[in-house]
Chains A and B, each alone.
Chain A
């Protein structure tokens, strides 16, 4: 799938300042901040599913929120159809909001508990004037059918539904405004395994039927591998590797991707290993390591990694990795 580029993130940075004590302020040191995104660059193409994976604190949710402009980025820019989204105003911004929709992680807190499903969906339809008032009840019925809920669901409150059903309501709300891009942040991670599969199947089916572009943010590698065309791996607010799903999973070109894949337990009991995939833990996003962000945990790190931060460079068709070891994981040199 090689559609045109729809959204481009160019060197996006986002910091969340921390509260500063008087003494700290007087000491003249730079203000402390959580460096959530440290120069993220990627492209999202029309009609594809881009998976974004990483561990907690890697900035994947912040990136998702920047993509729909729930956060404004501090550095770099996000371009949607040739326009910087930070500069959109008024009508154009509302149109952007309609065309790029987000589905949230927690099906328990992202729906208003005091509104019936009819109100939740009707509000979205009304704000963006998707239908004349008379057409709204019919459209709500269509939307519920689309996410395979009974029509009588419209007159119930969110608490009457199970987690999987609520996540379907979240999807229906996002789809109500006929978006082109869906940004799904940990769509199924709060759900039981058997229910996860239902929602994943629904998403695959809807994407096919409605020609949606999907940004699928998740920490579950198996899931991301299953539904994505391309995958971006994030570590400490930076994309360390991005490429077509198959290439990235069969021959990862960054030591972190490798560690992540090795750490994920395989479903085949015959293929277990007793070797620990990655030593150590994520460094603090307040004081980022010098040089390559991963060097503190990387078994292959050498002097250059400690001083110079590697940028994304090509490793094959559409496959980029940010590592000084250009040959790492190259299929023929793989150990």
Chain B
């Protein structure tokens, strides 16, 4: 890997309630320029908190430590004024619920213009023109009229497009997308994901896509990082991880999704449920649900070790897991 990463996250740890609850635990990853990284996990795995920690968008009870390197600076230690320049400008974010993320009492134009005012030097007329361009870019027809409308006048898919238009207003080089399509229907999800990929190509952005849907990852991401109980347990290119998962959790997740050719057979399920934050098991957090668990799994926390460049896993029994093969 010769390219310098666009974003480098090192030992990111986020705790809540005065350090009693650890939502994100020692997470490290990099995002290359123009790359789409998928951050995958079930509810409570810490994937959304990771994204919000990068942008320092946490409630007051959250404490973040570690480093987030962005263009030679550390976002976590930057002054508030500098942070405002980065947030919504160079790095922007789209949220899962477009209805709650948009302001219901302001027309869409005002919400796009807000970001243009903050991050560009455009004058009033140029902002109006740019807002129309953005609406065209994200595929909202009849831009001039629709800019005057309010969020409730848009459908779910269109609202998500508005969110993306706002996010793109500051010409970001990194887009953080938190489950951007989870609330949408499959044909609309398809449109939004393809839109994000097209924009990535056109504007050469990097994208971090948080999702729980492995299908979405398979269809859109270049690399994947799998999270469980606040830690990254496996990373690699999507192709490698799907072809040969090396962590028992990744393997179980892949097996839990029905795929063609196995109709009406039992799915390879993972017993139990993901642990709540206040009851994360000792040792490897996955050991009580793991078919491969052995003594060391209950005693020590496995660290992320490199298997190959850009491919790493945190599992004591990775040889056994790899040997068991991919369920897809």
Contact = CB atoms under 8 A, between A and B. Distances in A.
What is the interface of chain A mostly: helix, strand, loop, or mixed? helix
A294 B257 CA distance: 30
Interface string A261-282: 0111111111010111111011
Contact of B185 (A55, A226, A269): A55
Contacts of B262: 226
A262 B258 CA distance: 16
Interface in A44-59: 49, 55-56
Nearest to B239: A269
Contact of B215 (A227, A267, A278, A281): A267
B15 to A, nearest CB: 23
Interface stretch (A35-43, A66-74, A215-223): A215-223
A269 B216 CA distance: 10
Given A263-B186, A268-B218, A272-B218, A197 B194 contact: no
Interface string B262-295: 1110111111011000000000000001000000
Interface stretch (A13-21, A81-89, A198-206): A198-206
Given A193-B212, A194-B252, A281-B158, A263 B187 contact: yes
Contacts of B253: 193-194
A227 to B, nearest CB: 6
B155 interface: yes
B113 interface: no
A283 to B, nearest CB: 11
Contacts, number: 138
B109 interface: no
A262 B218 CA distance: 14
What is the interface of chain B mostly: helix, strand, loop, or mixed? helix
A33 B91 CA distance: 45
Contact of B218 (A192, A266, A274): A266
Interface string B227-267: 00000000000110010000000001111111110111011
Given A55-B185, A226-B258, A276-B194, A197 B269 contact: yes
Given A246-B263, A267-B328, A269-B218, A55 B257 contact: no
Contact of A198 (B185, B259, B271): B271
Q: Which of the listed residues A165, A266, A276 has the most CB atoms from chain B within 10 Å of its own CB?
A: A276
B258 A263 contact: no
B28 to A, nearest CB: 24
Contacts of B257: 193, 197, 222, 267
Contact of B242 (A195, A259, A260, A268): A268
A274 B197 contact: yes
A276 B191 contact: yes
A281 B267 contact: no
Nearest to B183: A56
A268 B267 CA distance: 17
Contacts of A270: 239
Nearest to B141: A280
Interface of B: 42-43, 155, 157-158, 185-191, 193-194, 197-198, 212-220, 238-239, 242, 252-260, 262-264, 266-271, 273-274, 289, 328
